[in-house]
Structure 1
């Protein structure tokens, strides 16, 4: 489905980013796994494929790093067909206890990082035949809000507006931009939750279970592929029905 296409996945060394990178490699793409820790990104890429994946160090809040990521990918592969803005962090606290530094850091990584990547992708893709696909990772938190996550919820809601605006700007160049809003997905973070808290959250999911990283990767594959050729500006909830 992505044969010989070139994709960049930020936050690609772990979690959902790694699951997406793995699915893209399986479907024939050449994938750059970008991560703050370049050594970890290199190791993850090598484990996926010696030929079809490689790692790159990138701080998504840095304009220079993001531009270098694109420049080096284009120099190596000739183009970028798909960008997945996935890099993220959490700094949870109730609003009255949250520091301004923790608010800004989360917004910078998620929202500024997504904007920098989206801007670089729009600039590159509008100048080449065939356009491209941008896939942004929002969150159900950006729709319903989570206690203790005023920073994260604000950033993830902002990604929705950013995605829709980018979709309008890119449409006439054949560039599609869409967002995914994952719900409760099985990751190291969710599995570290207290058992009673996890059970309570699962109890609010109509399908009655957590999602798997591969189920997010499947939607990211759809949005990167020609199967979604008439889909742009969309926000797809992958939540098991939670929050509908």
Structure 2
């Protein structure tokens, strides 16, 4: 083999190795770009469109079970108005939730959970929010209970198939109430009526059980986890038929 031949072979080998390194670096660069774009898109979706919450209590059973994960449409109420029967997630109006001390967590767990929360795959603040069903909108007259144990809204009795009651109980609320919902506020109740710290339960708080619309994070639209509990969440328009017309 001549010296020129060896030189050409070495040059080809060097060129091939350099090309492979460039290809590897380009591949890694593309992976980083794809990852960053995915994180940014997830952040934007979580910030402006949808996000995940988990259910911390039994107050919405049997519609939502404790530890279920739900997907929340954050376009409600800014873009899409709240309707009767909507299941909404909202921030504590004041005095609904007990004070909760921050739990100490290993630094690595805190970092990972913080990142997952940033992209909307974790909901560490679920315990700072509540999930209830909207029964009264601004201006509604909500009363419980009539002779049949039903709640009425603007004089229209509600037949609520989603309500869970103790065996033998027909009254949809343990306590009677008669309220008119103020402007820009809601009257909300849990589906597990006798085990829910809802508007009825919180009439002694500063806002007398009413929830400001501005506290609403969004409307729960689907149970996403566990798979066995997957379901779209209905707002039962047939239950509230005639309520809006009666308000006039």
TM-score, normalisation: structure 1: 0.24
Bigger relative contact order (CA 8 A; separation at least 6): 2
In terms of Rg, which structure is larger? 2
Give the number of the structure whose residues are more often strand, by fraction.
2
Give the number of the structure whose residues are more often helix, by fraction.
1
